[in-house]
Amino acid sequence: MGVVERRTLDQVLDFLRGRQKPSGMLSWGVLDTAPDEYCTETSSEYVAALTLLGLDDEALPKALFLREQQLPNGAWAEVHSHIPKAFQTESSVTGFALLALLGLDLDPKDLDGALEFLDQARRPEGHFGLNWYYYSTYYYLIRPAVAALAQLGHHSAVAHACEFVLSQQRADGSWYTEVDGFGEYSSPEQHTALALETLAYAGMDAGHLAVRRGLLWLLARQRPDGSWDGGSYPYPDTGTYRSFRATQHIFTTAQVLAVLHRLAALEGLLDTHI
């Protein structure tokens, strides 16, 4: 790693460390939250990032804290008052928490319970539902669940999920979930990156026709400034949320980089364990 990259990484880590809750967890956005509130998904990704960087001693206490937050029904929940109660235990939350633990070779307190929760959350079509609060796309919810199930060797569930993703690919190679009542919101670029990540976590590389078509479509959509269009966060057009708008270009660009990293790892061009 060069000097510039090292300095940039240190600045990012200082930023994240400065925003930790007393538990070591992270929140999201700019809204004030209580000291004991945090985003399980964001915190799990934080743990995974520290693990990838070889900072296991820093990641481990956070992972152990997450491990203890598993609910009696096997799931993990968002601990965040800004997230509607009914949305706090979507399958992606459990998927992200499992990935954080697995990256450090930690077993959850109740692995069978976590797997049973994901199995019950999985719809007959193979996906894990659709929730506007989670980007109004199947692929945000399905991606971390598939990644965790693949690592745990539950290949039948992974294959079923991938069949659904493949069935939804559009003629031009992209993916996009249209939801009535939300107008213009998160972009096909975002949905395509998340769908491709799902397939890549299942072990499908760029040699697979659907992956290759999606990847070529995505690469052709890069903007002159280097980013990918993410659209807007899918707040419904109602009185409560009408004034809330947030573009998703940074998140989407990060997801494109993540899928490129995952596909490179599948090709043996990178050494990664997550």
DSSP line for 88-127:
TT-HHHHHHHHHHHHTTTPPPTTHHHHHHHHHHHS-TTSS
Q: Averaged over 35-49, what is the pLDDT?
A: 96
Q: Which of 63-77, 172-186, 240-254 has the lowest mean pLDDT?
A: 240-254
Q: Is the pLDDT of residue 238 over 80?
A: no
Question: In sequence order, which residues have a C-beta less than 8 Å from that of residue 224 and are 6 or more positions away?
Answer: none
3-state secondary structure of 232: strand
Q: Averaged over 120-126, what is the pLDDT?
A: 97
Q: Averaged over 27-54, what is the pLDDT?
A: 91
What would the pLDDT profile of 187-200 be if each residue is shown by its tens digit?
999 999 999 999 99
Q: Is the pLDDT of residue 182 over 70?
A: no
Cβ atoms of 16 and 53 within 8 Å: the answer is no
Separation of alpha carbons 70 and 65, rounded Å: 10
With a threshold of 0.85, does the pTM exceed it?
A: yes
Select the more confidently predicted residue: 171 or 233. 171
Separation of alpha carbons 116 and 111, rounded Å: 9
Separation of alpha carbons 239 and 95, rounded Å: 32
Separation of alpha carbons 260 and 247, rounded Å: 22
Residues in the chain, overall count: 274
Per-residue b or e along 50-66, where b marks 16 or more CB atoms closer than 10 Å to that residue's CB:
bbeeeeeebbeebbebb
Q: Is the pLDDT of residue 272 over 60?
A: no
3-state secondary structure of 79: strand
Amino acid 24: pLDDT? 97
Q: Is the pLDDT of residue 240 over 70?
A: no
3-state secondary structure of 63: helix
Classify residue 101 as left (phi > 0), alpha (psi -120 to 50) or beta: alpha
Q: Is the pLDDT of residue 243 over 70?
A: no
Q: Is the pLDDT of residue 4 over 70?
A: no
Amino acid 236: pLDDT? 61
